[in-house]
Structure 1
């Protein structure tokens, strides 16, 4: 989904704080001069990379997300671009291009994802690296997209308590279709200043690709070497892995 409601954008960092995936990409970038963060969101990773001395370009289609990104302490050290893959030819050669937060799964069509991978290949200098993550379909993450299994309460920046949960749409088994659609609900509890309870919702659909499918697309895009990890500690992929993390050259 495209984050365009300021109330949901304000919750993004609360729901997606600095975590093991952030540390993974920071470590991967240690020797990189220019890093491009495609789908940078609110810029948590991009700003941290800039703080550590990297030249960083952050690209995202949401102006609301970029508003938060620009306001970060290191926001003026990052080149922010409102856009998508079409911006890549104009950012200069990258040592590392990352697509974090399961951004790879928003490309429902293989042709669209392949076009993105090819654009990334052209944007990376010889010897450079592309890295991204995708949920492993074998882990069946969609089975937890019910209110009972996914509900959690967080505190919004304005102090309101918000219950957040997912509900998967009725559809064939995503293992057969490769796709899963769901709606995320945000129930804002009332406060003395805002006495009315309010619930917002946002619908999403994600593509779940196997490692073989991802490898085929990467090879077709021109990547000859791919290192695969099943979690953020760089463990190998096995049948229990929740993630498919690709580091391609």
Structure 2
């Protein structure tokens, strides 16, 4: 059987954190290393905070995630605070200079109420002047159109198992895309299936939610080199500040 713990380990293999190789990782690394207290919302397996501590961050680092298997993997490093839970359930008050949601984690906030509750909690957790940095896939790029079995990847996991991994869209309803992620043997025998829904907010809708929560936009980019959002941008990258 292919367990949730196996899936978490495979995620790390497929999504390594490396600011030298990946501009998105470098973008966040610069922000994190400049702040003395950082909250990573939707931290997953914790690779960003692991890297930050390994590279000299001496302040407070906190990772929050509802996925127990991912968090168990994150807890391999004990000099970071790891909390099991969701953004909307946070109760911190003015404790952090920076909050992040990397890896398109913001898109897992599907319902309006969840977006509002999560943003309110993140706003409250930040000190006055604190910043919230996150990214979402720009809906105009229609990234989900590439999520199909014809784009399967053949990989070898950390214990030497040959695997095939693919995604398949089940439904596109308004701005919400529901899809499955499948891990299988090379012959197609299914080992593990995850199902998720992601919300693709455009700039107007995103800014409406941020303003309602009390944030002001400090920076808005369409790529990891801090270029502007354009008609061909694949990302909406936001740095919002608590007033």
SS in 2 for 1:41: coil
The CA distance in 1 between the partners of 2:89 and 2:128, in whole Å, is: 19
CA distance in 2, matches of 1:108, 1:83: 17
CA distance 1:146–1:104, shift in 2 (3 Å): same
- Structure 2 residue 67 is the aligned partner of structure 1 residue 62: yes
Residue 49, structure 1, aligned to residue 72, structure 2 = no
* Residues 173-188 of structure 1 mapped to structure 2, 5 A cutoff: 177-188=174-185
Q: Could you tell me which residue of structure 1 aligns to residue 217 of structure 2?
A: 225
Deviation at 1:92?
A: 6.0
Matched residue, 2:161: 160
Give the number of aligned pairs.
Answer: 233
Say which SS state the counterpart of residue 37 (structure 1) adopts. strand
Shift of 1:87: 5.2
1:35 aligns to 2:38 (yes or no): yes
In structure 2, what is the Cα distance between the partners aligned to 1:198 and 1:225?
44
Pairing 1:190-229 to 2, within 5 Å after superposition:
197-229=189-221
TM-fit CA distance, 1:88: 3.1
1:113 is paired with a residue whose SS is: helix
Q: TM-score, normalised by structure 2?
A: 0.90
Aligned mate of 1:104, from 98, 103, 106: 106
How far is the alpha carbon of 1:198 from its aligned partner?
4.3
Instruction: Report SS of the residue matched to 1:76.
Output: coil
1:211-234 CA-partner distances (Å, limit 9, x unpaired):
111111001100123411112111
Following superposition, the deviation at residue 84 of structure 1 comes to 1.4
2:130 is the alignment partner of 1:128: yes
**SS state of the match for residue 192, structure 2?**
strand
Q: Distance in 1 between matches of 2:102 and 2:50?
A: 14
- Residues 38 and 123 (structure 1), Cα distance of their counterparts in 2 relative to 1, 3 Å cut: same
Task: Answer yes or no: is the 8 Å Cα contact 1:153–1:164 preserved in 2.
Answer: yes
Structure 2 distance, partners of 1:223, 1:24, is: 20
Cα deviation 1:62-87 (Å, max 9, x = unaligned): 2211111111xxx1210111111255
Q: Is the 8 A contact 1:38 1:59 kept in 2?
A: yes
Structure 1 vs Structure 2 CA RMSD = 1.9
1:115 CA drift (Å): 1.1
Instruction: Give how far 1:199 is off.
Output: 3.1
Q: Are 1:15 and 2:22 matched, yes or no?
A: no
Which ranges of structure 2 fall in alignment gaps of 5 or more residues?
Answer: none
2:48 and 2:93 map into 1 onto residues whose CA distance is 18
